[in-house]
């Protein structure tokens, strides 16, 4: 399972990285989203993998997962949501101000053709 | 080596009166005052400047006798003793000599400038700059601390920049000023380096210590670099070859400035430094080679160029260069007598050159030009001024009875002594004689070409004698030239002696300032130089032609200009090579840096990546989910150019991630991920409407390969990190949370207790981020107008049905249900999965659903759209809840809870963390709705202006 | 006995979930595929939720009926989703095995219907 | 017996996931993909319920409940985009 | 005034019931809390749901639900069989159901009911809301299907929601 | 419990929330006054805090009354208090400038400004790694909001770049923090110091990676080469008061580097000893060199200032990289200087731009400006400050750094780069100064809507503060030296955070 999750983190990160490096705002936003998936999963994984042991205190519980990374991921999810919202908005503003959706505001040939 | 006799005992005499500090500070304060009084009449500033200078002189007076006792006067005001940097001043012979020159000639220049400046020149500004400069110069010569000296040194560069660029409308003035600043700035920085090293070597920046530890300094391994740096500073300031070019270009300054800066002060600062550090630094082969060769080259080149300058001030400027070379050469020769001669020539040059500049200024003033080809025969128009100028020129040429002759004789004697039959030793005397002959020639030219040589050509006006007071400064200076030249023993000798003593740090060797020393080699050289000068001047026409042919061939100034352009060009090239304004490059660099350093971290030590923990076996469903997730991620990447499609796939990714969270014991995370995912999708859809539906294929192949490479490495790297961590048994602080969640935090959902209690502060920050996102987006929307798509991506008109009936009717049904669920999630969050954040998202989504299905107008009639108060009260509720614990003397966010028993109702738990969670809830609802609603409203806003 | 019922319910639910997705994968046009998920929603998830109710209610911790809510939600929402999907497919004129009523594919309501009585939800 | 049934059920639901994922990747049209997403939401509910039974934990119920709601909003938004472009108007 | 305090008399008990389901508890405290929420939420959502829903024949409603559940099971089996046999055997088709129901809610409930039973999806509602186009997975006799829909689903819904 | 530590965080948070709440209820002038009062309170609080920690006490505030390393703690030592005070002072002048009118263009300037302060103070005070992340996000998002208010293609593009690259940086931060937690099992920075010093050799690779990734993030915030490209354009794009406030934002990165450098990597016995040593100094020097080249190459004043900021950051990080008591002390003195001087420069730059008509801040000829004398004098002084020329604080700071660099192996390099980049800075500033102030076509009078002399008051006041830095250099450097000493003996910090009976608590 550990290998599976590790590879998954890697794949999500790799795809995120590739998309973040694109020239248009929308793929970059998607890339940031994928990156945040990857890093949230990673952060989550630092609490190691436990199945069926949520950190809810009860007498019957056989054990508990590490709750701290979960709390951190929760915070990270919210923050990255806020940031994503902001970038999305910003990409619209860029589109309005720059006339196209290139991250550097270049109008390029394909836009015209 | 220094042939030093009994060294002066450098005992420090402390005086209570801080008059030296005042001497330096008065001009600075006076500068401000002068600038201020000029508002009330331009001439007042001249009077004020004169008064300030006189005051500074007066401050100096009480200490005048001290240097003659043989002990320097040292006064200290502590500033940064820990750094060895105090406001500490020193008055010894050298300092005294220079201070007198600076103040004396300064006063004359102030008088002179009063008449020189035109009515439309701002006099207050001029005098303010001049006083700034004067103060800086005084600081240099009176500083006991090298760093203090350096500070004033740089201030002279800055104030001379202001003075040279005084006529700011003139391009040559601006360029000259910048060039001077650049070259002297370079020198100043080199000097800083040199002084730092010197201080390190000597263990102190104080001259008393440094001058006493010459042996140790010269023996130190850092001596050579230090010397080079210090000399660089001195040479640039004193316009030594090859840094001489800035000086002639500084002639764009008003002539009083030239008379002041380029005779007695600015350029003498470098010479002063050579003299100042002479005991500590001189006496090594390196010193001799560097200082002598610079001096010699400057002497010769300056004299040669001076001869051919048609510009009056140009001639004087290059002559200055040449004389500075002469003095440098003397210090380079390094014998005590040479040093004495050097000091003597400093005085002499200052007097005759200042008077010459002033005379040139008068001529310029009267003729409206400085071109010697046009100025001729002024003897007829201004005989008195001509006489003065001719006396000063004679002194410059080294004609007997004038002061220049005396120091030049000493110089010839030292040059002759240098000749010791070794292979190259003849070079020095020969060159010296040639240079002197050139000096005679250009002095002759100055006299003949200006005052005789026929009639003036097309002058704007008829020249005549200047106002009386404009001549007075020249008269005084010329008188000094004569007095010193004829009665050296009565006039200059005591000052020279005490100055030379302090240069040598011992009693200076016997020197006879008589005019006549008999027929010795020096006299012979003088005669040869005079005759040679006459010869050269006689042969000037062919020489001028030769010079004209080679003009500009090797012009260091042009070279400098090209160098500067090249440096700026290189700077542009380098800067634009890095900073292309490309986000992709920015991100790529960040990633490369991170991947590189990450690799260094991981591979830099031989530690196993795989740990020792027992692993969890994989099961089928996890495999499928993981495969789906991986395939989805790759699909998003491959399909990313079809934006809507990619968006759908991203939705699936979020769902699968939530599943993984659920599977691995994180129900809270699963809930959060699910809710956030949907809101994100809605957000992306809202945005996509205003964006192109497809991403053009525009990345080059190279770029794609590079990005794929980066992506692959990033993937491998994070996989390795995750694998390394997952395979290690973890030992974390989480046990504490599990142990204290119920007894200390009053909740059994540990994750939630961490969020609202153990690490509630994180959550406070997190909701602030959310609030900020809302506010930031709202702020950004102002004035934003974007056309949406008028046709759908396939080119068809949009569907007519804005709000499909079936959808609209049923989602209204869902609203109360969703709100109930939201309340449920909120209330149980402390003990079971849930909490304020998820509840907030559910509420927000339930309301968004109304917008989606019923439209903005319909919903807005039912829901108050102003979310700012909601966000603000959320933040306030969270903060105030945290502050409530202040009342009980506990830190912020200290939680409390109690079980309340109400009859019939049963046990209720009341926890302060719930109130905090309410703040979270409000911020989430407010921010999410603010963002989505206003984004959704954008198109309507495009047509009709709203808030 | 309980275990048998539970097992049967679970298997039934899983089976219908599977069949629903199988239909999604196998069927040949969008409109027929659209029927697949209904199985997963109704009998599939329904059975599983009943199983869950039975399972948690018989563990001695009291009755567990909240699974009904999930069913309620699904029964309200799933048909609406299906309806909207079909509407979108019609709008996009996806390939259909069956003959599509022409007016259902129209981008704008036909002239005849323009004046039809309508309240706020109909196009102005 | 129960655990065997649950295991088989996991297999079946897993297979359902695969089917839906294939449809998601294959398309061919956007409604197909949205439909696949919608199906995946439902399948996830099924999976969570199974997981709850499998682990004997009631903690997955809220997730199932939430999916029923959130999945709907997602699907509606996506369909609305196809129909109108502007999803909030 | 009464309407302001208790806008949806049916909704309050319904929400209270749902609350009790949610918390899986029948304690008095939860009942009170449920009532409180069941009262507050309709107050808040009043503006979103202005027209009061009236159920006229509760028994018909119950019977309708039972019929529906039975139909769902049967239809599931039929359609499952269809799918398992393979895509070549299906005969899909669109049928147009003329509507007697007039209210938005009624039409929506009917459409949902149709979609819930496997094999049929209500795909399109005409702008004048007189016709519901239904896609059926396997339709041999369109008229029979329309008749079944009207008889089994629309009629009881009419009785419950729009008796007049 | 001494609430004073918490007040620098609480005051702006409360003020921000309140200002948001009363957005429509109160007129702008009242809100401006509220804002100003809050910042004044913040200055007072920061001053009080500084006075409390001057004697070397490390004040620890356990939020929620949970002990470290379990709860989040705020820690005020000399360094933190110094940074908080610096921020507050800068904010005061930036605000004084803003409320003269440039805040009216933004919908949320007042609350965003306070929340930015909240983020900055929090980042300087927190003793928890993840909490630092949160505060990074707070201050970044606030700065995005401030950066982007108003329109314009340039601003939007710069903002987009700034936001995206920082988001990637945030992702890196999480990877780094996660890795460190995965290895050391804790997030408290003091606790991490102990755990990272005594690592199992098998975990060394992961820990090093985590730490180095964290360094990359901080280097990005500090605009260290090669992550500096965002700075000049982002700073140039925003409004003057915001740019002035931004002057302290890069210092957050510098602060973080200094903090972890002294806390984690300084103990020569520790597992991660000297981890940053191969990187920090060379990168700092390259940053300085490229910054000075950029300053020379700039065609716009504010871009040039941005590059000059890079030069100063390079010097600052050089001081930190040297790691000696004296160098760090010098760096901390220089930090205050460069922050305030840069702030003043940005305020002044807008004043200049607004007086030059259509030429604005572009380095081209333009009509002579009104009040050229006053502006010229201010420009001259600020240029002297920024170029590190005598007699002001810039020179003193540079001198102290160089002095501390003298007996280090890299002396020659440092001397060469610092001196040459200083020269380039002089050349660049002489060029822009003479273009902006000397080389003017005849005056056209005051452009319509241009402000009067009073606009220059905040910049002048900031320069006066820099003059104060010069005059009171001795007590200030005594303080920074004590700060450096405290940083170089982190045991006191660690004990104060974790408590002495640390072994008994926890697991
Ligand atoms: Na002539
Ligand atoms: Na159906």
**Measured between alpha carbons, how far is B250 from B254 in angstroms, rounded to an integer?**
9
pLDDT at A113: 30
Residue F198 buriedness (CB in 10 A; 0-12 / 13-18 / 19+): exposed
Residue E150, phi then psi, degrees to nearest 5: -65, -40
- The shortest CB-CB distance from B816 to any of E42, E107, E129 is to E42
Residues of C in contact with D5 (CB under 8 A): 6-8, 10-11
Distance CA B314, CA B557 (A): 13
Overall average pLDDT of the F63-75 stretch: 92
Kindly state whether E12 is in contact with chain C, defined as any CB-CB distance less than 8 angstroms: no
**B554, pLDDT greater than 70:** no
Q: How far is CA C32 from CA C28, E101, F350, in A?
A: 7, 27, 66
Give Cβ neighbours of residue D15 (< 8 Å, ≥ 6 apart): C18, C21, C22
Yes or no, beta carbons of D57 and A51 under 8 Å apart: no
Under a CB-based contact definition with an 8 Å cutoff, are residues A42 and F181 in contact? no
Are residues A57 and B738, on separate chains, in Cβ contact within 8 Å? yes
State residue B946's pLDDT score: 35
Q: Is the per-residue pLDDT at C118 higher than 50?
A: no
Measured CA to CA, the distance from residue B415 to residue B433 in angstroms comes to 9
DSSP class of residue C60 equals S
**pLDDT tens series, chain E, 164 aa:** 445 666 677 788 889 998 988 888 778 888 888 888 988 888 888 777 666 677 788 888 899 999 999 998 888 888 888 888 877 878 898 999 999 888 888 899 999 999 988 889 999 898 888 899 999 988 888 899 999 999 999 999 888 887 76
Residue pair D54/D21 in contact (Cβ under 8 Å)? The answer is no
Query: Tens of pLDDT along B413-453?
Result: 888 888 776 777 788 889 999 999 999 999 999 999 999 98
CB F43 within 8 A of CB B895: no
Q: For residue range B176-216, list pLDDT tens digits in order.
A: 999 999 999 999 999 999 999 999 999 999 999 999 999 99
Point out the ligand nearest to the CA of residue E116: 2
Does C80 sit within 8 Å of B858, measured CB to CB?
Answer: no
Task: Dump the DSSP string for A36-99.
Answer: HHHHHHHHHHTT---SS--SB--TT-S----HHHHHHHHHHHHHHHHHHHHHHHHHHHHHHHHS
Task: Give the relative orientation of helices B583-603 and B701-726 as an angle to the nearest 10 degrees.
Answer: 40
State pLDDT tens for residues F494-507: 999 998 644 433 33
pLDDT of residue B553: 60
| pLDDT tier at A105, thresholds 50, 70, 90 | confident
C76 interaction partners in chain B (CB closer than 8 Å)? 810, 813-814
Please give the residue of chain E at the shortest CA–CA distance from B804: E125
Query: What gap in Å lies between CA C60 and CA A93, rounded to an integer?
Result: 58
Calculate what percentage of chain A has a pLDDT beyond 90.
62
F356: closest CA of chain A, how far (Å) = 25
Residues 6+ apart with CB under 8 A from B900: B907, B908, B909, B910
Tell me the mean pLDDT in the region F257-282. 92
Which candidate from A18, A44, A79 shows the least CB-CB separation from B661? A44
Least confident of B668-672, B792-796, F232-236: B792-796
Query: Structural domain boundaries of chain A?
Result: 2-48+64-98
Please tell me the distance between residue E107's alpha carbon and the centre of ligand 2 in angstroms.
Answer: 15
Q: Is B879 on the interface with C (CB under 8 A)?
A: no
Pick the CATH number of A2-48+64-98 from 1.10.3470, 3.30.450, 1.10.287, 1.10.10: 1.10.287
DSSP F248: T
Query: How far does D69 lie from chain B, in Å, by closest CA?
Result: 8
Whether residue E53 lies inside any domain: the answer is no
Q: Which helix (H) or strand (E) segment is F384 a member of?
A: helix F372-387
- Cβ neighbors of B133 (< 8 A, separation 6 or more) are B156, B159, B160, B162, B163, B260, B261, B265, B266
Mean pLDDT of chain B: 88
Distance in angstroms (rounded) separating the CA atoms of residues F165 and F143: 14
Greatest mean pLDDT among B142-151, B243-252, B864-873, B928-937: B142-151
- Is the domain of E155 the same as that of E75? yes
Segments in B206-311 forming alpha helices (H): 207-212, 214-219, 223-237, 246-249, 255-261, 266-281, 285-287, 293-308
Which of these ranges, B925-934, F159-168, F296-305, has the smallest mean pLDDT?
B925-934
The span from the CA of B624 to the CA of D20, in Å, is: 11
- Taking 80 as the threshold, does the pLDDT of residue A73 lie above it? yes
Judged by CB atoms closer than 8 Å, whether chains meet at F148 and B581 is answered as: no
Distance B540 CA to ligand 1 centre (A): 13
What is the complex's ipTM, to 2 decimals?
0.93
Domain count, chain D: 1
pLDDT (0 to 100) of residue B627:
92
- The average pLDDT across D64-74 equals 90
Higher-confidence residue: B856 or F325?
F325
pLDDT of residue B2: 41
Using CB atoms, pick whichever of B800, B810, B858 lies closest to residue C108: B800
Q: How far apart are CA B898 and CA B911, in angstroms?
A: 7
Give residue D78's domain range: 2-84
Compute the nearest-CA separation of A19 from chain B (Å).
7
**pLDDT reading at F292 higher than 80:** yes
Q: Which residue of B has its CA nearest to C94?
A: B794
Q: Is the pLDDT of residue B814 over 50?
A: yes
Q: What is the pLDDT of residues F293-322, one digit of tens each?
A: 999 999 999 999 999 999 999 999 999 999
Nearest Cα residue to B767 out of F21, F134, A84: F134
Mean local confidence (pLDDT), B39-50: 89
Q: What is the pLDDT of residues F225-260, one digit of tens each?
A: 999 989 998 888 888 888 998 899 999 999 999 999
Percent of chain B with pLDDT over 70: 96
> Would an 8 Å CB–CB cutoff place B861 in contact with chain E?
yes
Q: Does A36 touch chain B (CB under 8 A)?
A: no
pLDDT exceeds cutoff 90 at D15: yes
Contact B549, F126 (CB under 8 A): no
**Do D5 and C10 lie within an 8 Å CB cutoff?**
yes
Ligand 2 centroid to Cα of residue B482, in Å, is 122
pLDDT attached to residue B506 = 84
- Which SS3 state, helix, strand or coil, does residue E122 take? strand
CB atoms within 10 A of CB F491: 11
Q: What is the pLDDT of residues F375-408, one digit of tens each?
A: 888 999 999 999 999 889 999 999 999 999 998 8
Size of interface A-B (CB pairs under 8 A): 317
The pLDDT value given to residue C122: 32
| pLDDT confidence tier of residue B606, bands split at 50, 70 and 90 | confident
The b-or-e profile of E62-79 (16+ CB within 10 A means b, else e) is: eebeeebeebbbebbeeb
Domain holding D7: CATH number? 1.10.287
What ligand is nearest to the CA atom of residue E113? 2
pLDDT at B487 over 80: yes
Residues of A with CB under 8 A from a CB of D: 51-52, 54, 56
> Regarding beta strands E131-136 and E93-98, do their DSSP bridges make them parallel or antiparallel, or are they unpaired?
antiparallel
pTM of the model: 0.93
Q: What is the DSSP code string of E81-106? A: HHHHH-GGG---EEEEEE----SHHH
**Which ligand approaches the C-alpha of residue C82 most closely?**
2
Ligand 2 midpoint to CA E117 (Å): 4
pLDDT digits (tens, 9 = 90+) for C64-103: 888 888 888 888 888 899 999 999 998 888 888 888 888 7
Please provide the size of chain D in residues: 89
The Cβ of residue B552 has, within 10 Å, a number of other Cβ atoms equal to 8
E91 falls within a domain: yes
* Triad E113, E114, E117: Cα angle to 5°: 85
Question: What number of helices (H) and strands (E) belong to chain E?
Answer: 7, 3
Query: Can you give the length of chain E in residues?
Result: 164
Q: If pLDDT is split at 50, 70 and 90, which confidence band does C115 have?
A: very low
E111 touches chain C (CB under 8 A): yes
Of E27, E45, E127, Cβ closest to residue B906: E27
Q: How far is CA A90 from CA A83, B878, D55, in A?
A: 10, 28, 44
Q: Which two tokens stand for residue B844?
A: 């927000």
Inspect the interface and report whether the beta carbons of F178 and A42 lie closer than 8 Å: yes
When pLDDT is cut at 50, 70 and 90, the band that residue A36 belongs to is very high
The confidence band for F356, taking pLDDT boundaries of 50, 70 and 90, is confident
Contact E45 B863 (CB under 8 A): no
Residue F133, pLDDT score: 96
- With CA atoms as reference, the chain D residue closest to C29 would be D32
Q: What is the pLDDT of residues A43-68, one digit of tens each?
A: 999 999 888 888 888 888 888 999 99
pLDDT level of residue F71 (50, 70, 90 thresholds): very high
Dist. CA D68 → ligand 2 center (Å): 17
* CA B385 to ligand 1 centroid distance, Å: 16
**Three-state DSSP string of B388-439:** HHHHHHHHHHCCCCCHHHHHHHHHHHHHHHHCCCCCCCCHHHHHHHHHHHHH
Contact A74 B732 (CB under 8 A): no
The answer to whether residue D89 is domain-embedded is no
Contact B625 D17 (CB under 8 A): yes
pLDDT of the residue at E127: 86
Residue of D nearest to B831 (CA): D59
What per-residue confidence (pLDDT) applies to B9? 42
Please report residues of D whose CB lies closer than 8 A to that of A52: 55-57
Mutate to test the interface with E, among B804, B815, B823 (most CBs of E within 10 A): B823
Query: Which chains have at least 3 CB atom pairs separated by less than 8 Å from chain D?
Result: A, B, C
pLDDT at A51: 87
C-alpha B448 – ligand 1 centre gap (Å):
7
Q: Ligand 2 center to residue E89 CA distance, Å?
A: 18
Q: Lowest-confidence range among B877-886, C96-105, F329-338? A: C96-105
> Are the beta carbons of E112 and E125 closer than 8 angstroms?
no
Closest ligand (CA of C31):
2
Tokens for B358? 């002033």
**Cα–Cα distance measured from residue D19 to residue D39, given in angstroms and rounded to the nearest whole number:** 10
Half-sphere exposure (Cβ direction) of B109: Cα atoms closer than 13 Å = 32
- At F88-124, the pLDDT tens digits run 999 999 999 998 877 877 778 899 999 999 999 999 9
Domain region containing E134: 58-161
**CA dist., res. B231 & res. B242, Å (int):** 12
Q: To the nearest whole percent, how much of chain B has pLDDT over 90?
A: 53
Distances (CA, A) of F386 to B406, F292, F381, F389: 47, 12, 9, 8
CB-CB: which of B182, B587, B601 is closest to F211? B601
Q: What is the pLDDT of residue F500?
A: 60
Q: Let me know the angle formed at the C-alpha of F124 by F118 and F126, rounded to the nearest 5 degrees.
A: 90
């Amino acid at each position: 399972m550990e290998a599976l999750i590790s590879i998954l983190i890697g794949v999500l990160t790799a795809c995120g990285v590739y998309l973040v490096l694109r020239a248009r705002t929308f793929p970059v936003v998607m890339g940031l989203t994928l990156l945040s998936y990857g890093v949230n999963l990673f952060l989550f994984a630092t609490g190691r993998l436990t199945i069926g042991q949520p950190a809810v205190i009860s007498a019957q519980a056989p054990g508990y997962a590490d709750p701290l990374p979960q709390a951190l991921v929760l915070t990270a999810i919210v923050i990255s949501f806020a940031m994503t919202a902001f970038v999305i908005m910003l990409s619209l503003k860029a589109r309005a101000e720059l006339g196209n959706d290139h991250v550097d505001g270049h109008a390029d040939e394909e836009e015209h053709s | 080596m220094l042939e030093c006799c009994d060294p002066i005992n450098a005992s420090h005499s402390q005086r209570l009166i801080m008059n030296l500090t005042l001497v330096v500070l008065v001009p600075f304060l006076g500068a401000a005052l002068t600038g201020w009084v000029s508002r009330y009449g331009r001439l007042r500033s001249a009077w004020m400047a004169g008064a300030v200078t006189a005051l500074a002189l007066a401050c100096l007076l009480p200490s005048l006798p001290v240097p003659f006792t043989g002990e320097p006067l040292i006064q200290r005001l502590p500033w940064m003793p820990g750094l060895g940097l105090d406001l500490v001043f020193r008055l010894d012979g050298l300092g005294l000599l220079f201070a007198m020159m600076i103040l004396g000639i300064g006063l004359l220049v102030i008088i002179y400038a009063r008449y020189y400046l035109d009515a439309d020149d701002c006099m207050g500004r001029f005098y303010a700059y001049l006083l700034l400069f004067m103060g800086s110069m005084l600081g240099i010569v009176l500083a006991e601390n090298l760093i203090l000296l350096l500070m004033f040194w740089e201030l002279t560069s800055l104030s001379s920049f202001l003075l040279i660029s005084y006529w700011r409308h003139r391009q040559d003035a601006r360029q000259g000023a910048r060039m001077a600043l650049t070259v002297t700035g370079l020198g100043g920085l080199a000097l800083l380096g040199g002084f730092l090293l010197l201080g390190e070597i000597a263990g102190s920046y104080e001259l008393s210590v440094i001058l006493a530890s010459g042996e140790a300094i010269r023996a130190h391994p850092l001596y050579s670099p230090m010397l080079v740096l210090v000399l660089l500073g001195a040479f640039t300031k004193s316009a030594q070859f090859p840094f001489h070019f800035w000086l002639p270009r500084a002639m764009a300054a008003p002539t009083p400035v030239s008379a002041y800066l380029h005779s007695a002060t600015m350029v003498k600062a470098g010479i002063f430094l050579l003299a100042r550090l002479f005991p500590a630094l001189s006496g090594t082969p390196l010193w001799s080679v560097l200082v002598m060769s610079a001096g010699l080259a400057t002497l010769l080149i300056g004299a040669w160029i001076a001869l051919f300058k048609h510009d009056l001030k140009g001639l004087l400027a290059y002559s200055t260069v040449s004389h500075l070379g002469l003095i440098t050469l003397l210090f380079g020769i390094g014998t005590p007598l040479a040093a004495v001669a050097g000091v003597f020539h400093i005085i002499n040059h200052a007097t005759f050159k200042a008077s010459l500049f002033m005379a040139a200024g008068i001529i310029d003033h009267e003729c409206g030009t400085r071109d010697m080809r046009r100025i001729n025969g002024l003897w007829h128009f201004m005989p008195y001024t001509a006489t003065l100028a001719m006396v000063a020129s004679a002194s410059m040429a080294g004609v007997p009875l004038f002061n220049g002759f005396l120091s030049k004789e000493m110089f010839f004697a030292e040059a002759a002594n240098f000749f010791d039959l070794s292979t190259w030793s003849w070079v020095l005397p020969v060159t010296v004689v040639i240079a002197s002959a050139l000096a005679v020639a250009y002095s002759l030219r100055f006299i003949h070409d200006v005052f005789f040589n026929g009639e003036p050509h097309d002058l704007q006006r008829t020249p005549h004698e200047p106002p009386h007071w404009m001549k007075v400064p020249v008269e005084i200076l010329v008188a000094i030239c004569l007095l010193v030249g004829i009665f050296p023993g009565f006039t200059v000798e005591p000052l020279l002696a005490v100055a030379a003593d302090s240069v040598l740090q011992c009693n200076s060797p016997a020197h006879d300032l008589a005019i006549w020393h008999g027929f010795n080699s020096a006299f012979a050289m003088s005669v040869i130089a005079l005759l040679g000068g006459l010869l050269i001047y006689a042969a000037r026409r062919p020489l001028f032609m030769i010079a004209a042919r080679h003009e500009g061939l090797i012009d260091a100034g042009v070279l400098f200009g090209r160098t500067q352009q090249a440096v700026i060009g290189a700077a542009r090239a380098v800067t634009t090579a890095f900073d292309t304004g490309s986000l992709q490059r920015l991100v790529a660099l960040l990633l490369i840096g991170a991947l590189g350093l990450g690799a260094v971290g991981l591979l830099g030590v031989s530690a196993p990546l795989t740990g020792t923990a027992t692993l969890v076996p994989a099961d089928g469903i996890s495999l499928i989910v993981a495969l789906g997730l991986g395939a989805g991620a790759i699909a998003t990447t491959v399909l990313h150019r079809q934006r809507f499609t990619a968006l759908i796939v991203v939705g699936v990714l979020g769902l699968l991630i939530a599943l993984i969270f659920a599977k691995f014991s994180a129900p809270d995370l699963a809930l959060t991920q699910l809710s956030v995912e949907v809101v994100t999708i809605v957000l992306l859809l809202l945005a996509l409407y205003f964006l192109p539906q497809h991403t053009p294929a525009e990345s080059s192949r190279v770029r794609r390969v590079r990005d794929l490479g980066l992506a692959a490495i990033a993937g491998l790297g994070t996989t390795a990190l995750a694998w390394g961590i997952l395979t290690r048994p973890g030992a974390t602080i989480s046990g504490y949370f599990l142990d204290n969640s119920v007894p200390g935090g009053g909740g059994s959902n540990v994750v939630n207790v961490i969020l609202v209690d153990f690490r509630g502060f994180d959550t406070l920050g997190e909701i602030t981020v959310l609030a900020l996102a809302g506010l930031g987006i709202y702020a950004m929307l102002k004035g934003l107008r974007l056309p949406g798509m008028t046709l759908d991506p396939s080119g068809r008109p949009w569907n007519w049905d804005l709000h499909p009936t079936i959808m609209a009717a049923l989602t209204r049904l869902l609203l109360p249900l969703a709100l109930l669920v939201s309340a449920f999630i909120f209330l149980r969050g402390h003990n079971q999965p849930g909490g304020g954040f998820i509840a907030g998202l559910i509420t927000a989504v339930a309301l968004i659903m109304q917008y989606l299905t019923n439209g903005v107008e319909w919903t807005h009639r039912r829901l108050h759209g102003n979310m700012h108060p909601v966000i603000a009260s959320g933040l306030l509720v969270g903060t105030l809840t945290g502050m409530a614990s202040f009342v009980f003397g506990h830190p912020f966010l200290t939680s409390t809870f109690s079980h309340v028993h109400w009859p019939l109702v049963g046990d209720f738990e009341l926890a302060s963390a719930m109130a905090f969670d309410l703040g979270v809830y409000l911020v989430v609802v407010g921010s999410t709705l603010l963002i989505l609603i206003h984004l959704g409203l954008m198109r309507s806003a495009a047509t009709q202006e709203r808030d | 006995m309980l275990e048998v019922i539970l097992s049967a319910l679970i298997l039934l639910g899983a089976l219908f979930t599977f069949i629903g997705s199988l239909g999604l994968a196998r069927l040949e046009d969008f409109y027929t595929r659209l029927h697949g998920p209904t199985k997963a929603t109704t009998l599939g998830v329904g059975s599983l939720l009943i199983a869950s109710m039975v399972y948690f209610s018989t563990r001695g911790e009291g009755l567990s009926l909240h699974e009904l809510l999930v069913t309620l939600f699904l029964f309200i929402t799933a048909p609406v989703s299906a309806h909207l999907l079909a509407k979108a497919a019609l709008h996009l004129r996806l390939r259909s095995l069956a003959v599509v009523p022409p007016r259902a594919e129209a981008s704008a309501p036909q002239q005849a219907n323009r004046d039809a009585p309508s309240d706020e939800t109909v196009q102005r | 017996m129960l655990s065997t049934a649950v295991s088989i059920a996991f297999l079946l639901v897993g297979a359902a996931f695969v089917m839906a994922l294939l449809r998601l990747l294959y398309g061919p049209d956007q409604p197909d993909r949205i439909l696949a997403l919608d199906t995946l939401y439902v399948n996830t509910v099924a999976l969570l319920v199974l997981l709850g039974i499998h682990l004997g934990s009631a903690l997955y119920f809220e997730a199932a409940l939430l999916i029923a709601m959130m999945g709907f909003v997602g699907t509606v938004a996506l369909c609305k985009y196809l129909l109108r472009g502007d999803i909030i108007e | 005034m009464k309407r302001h305090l208790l806008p949806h008399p049916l909704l309050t008990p319904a929400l209270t019931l749902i609350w009790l389901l949610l918390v899986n508890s029948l304690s008095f405290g939860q009942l009170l809390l449920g009532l409180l929420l069941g009262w507050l939420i309709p107050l808040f959502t009043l503006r979103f749901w202005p027209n009061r829903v009236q159920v006229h024949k509760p028994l018909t409603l119950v019977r309708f639900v039972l019929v529906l559940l039975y139909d769902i099971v049967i239809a599931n089996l039929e359609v499952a069989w269809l799918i398992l046999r393979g895509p070549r055997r299906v005969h899909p088709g669109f049928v147009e159901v003329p509507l007697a129901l007039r209210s938005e809610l009624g039409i929506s409930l009917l459409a949902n009911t149709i979609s819930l039973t496997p094999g049929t999806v209500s795909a399109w509602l005409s702008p004048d809301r007189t016709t519901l186009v239904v896609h059926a997975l396997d339709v041999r006799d369109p008229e029979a299907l329309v008749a079944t829909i009207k008889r089994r689903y629309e009629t009881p819904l009419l009785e419950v929601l729009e008796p007049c | 419990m001494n609430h004073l530590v918490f007040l620098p965080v609480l005051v702006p948070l409360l003020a921000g929330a309140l200002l948001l709440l009363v957005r429509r209820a109160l007129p702008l002038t009242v809100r401006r006054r509220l804002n100003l009062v809050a910042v004044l309170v913040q200055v007072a609080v920061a001053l009080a805090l500084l006075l409390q920690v001057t004697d070397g006490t490390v004040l620890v505030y356990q939020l929620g009354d949970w002990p470290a390393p379990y709860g989040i703690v705020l820690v005020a030592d000399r360094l933190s208090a110094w940074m908080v005070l610096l921020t507050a002072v800068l904010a005061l002048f930036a605000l004084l400038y803003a409320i003269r009118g440039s805040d009216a263009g933004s919908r949320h300037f007042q609350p965003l400004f306070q929340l930015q302060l909240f983020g900055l103070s929090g980042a300087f005070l927190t003793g928890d790694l993840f909490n630092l992340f949160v505060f990074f996000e707070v201050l970044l998002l606030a700065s995005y909001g401030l950066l982007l208010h108003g329109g314009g293609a340039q601003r939007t593009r710069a903002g987009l770049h700034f936001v995206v690259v920082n988001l990637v940086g945030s992702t890196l931060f999480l990877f780094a923090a996660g890795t460190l937690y995965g290895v050391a099992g804790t997030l408290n920075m003091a606790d991490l110091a102990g755990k990272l010093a005594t690592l199992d050799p098998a975990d060394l690779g992961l820990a090093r990676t985590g730490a180095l990734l964290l360094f990359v993030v901080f280097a990005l915030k500090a605009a260290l080469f090669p992550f500096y490209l965002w700075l000049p354009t982002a700073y140039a794009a925003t409004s003057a008061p915001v740019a002035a406030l931004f002057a302290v934002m890069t210092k957050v990165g510098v602060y973080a580097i200094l903090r972890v450098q002294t806390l984690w990597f300084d103990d020569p016995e520790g597992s991660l000893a000297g981890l940053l040593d191969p990187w920090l100094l060379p990168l700092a020097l390259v940053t300085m060199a490229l910054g000075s080249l950029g300053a020379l190459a700039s065609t716009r004043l504010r871009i040039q200032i941005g590059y000059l900021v890079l030069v100063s950051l390079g010097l600052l990080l050089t001081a930190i990289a040297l790691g000696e008591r004296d160098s760090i002390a010098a760096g901390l003195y220089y930090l205050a200087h460069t922050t305030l001087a840069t702030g003043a420069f940005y305020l002044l730059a807008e004043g200049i731009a607004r007086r030059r008509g259509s030429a604005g801040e572009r380095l081209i000829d333009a009509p002579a400006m009104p009040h050229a004398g006053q502006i010229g004098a201010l420009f001259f002084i600020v240029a002297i400050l920024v170029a590190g020329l005598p007699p002001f604080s810039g020179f003193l700071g540079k001198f102290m750094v160089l002095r501390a660099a003298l007996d280090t192996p890299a002396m020659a390099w440092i001397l060469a780069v610092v001196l040459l980049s200083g020269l380039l800075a002089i050349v660049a500033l002489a060029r822009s100064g003479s273009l902006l102030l000397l080389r003017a076509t005849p005056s056209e009078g005051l452009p319509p809507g241009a402000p009067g002399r009073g606009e220059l008051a905040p910049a002048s006041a900031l320069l006066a503060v820099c003059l104060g830095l010069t005059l009171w250099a001795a007590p200030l450097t005594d303080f920074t030296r004590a700060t450096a000493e405290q940083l170089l003996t982190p045991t006191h910090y660690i004990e104060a955070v974790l408590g002495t009976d640390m072994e008994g608590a926890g697991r």
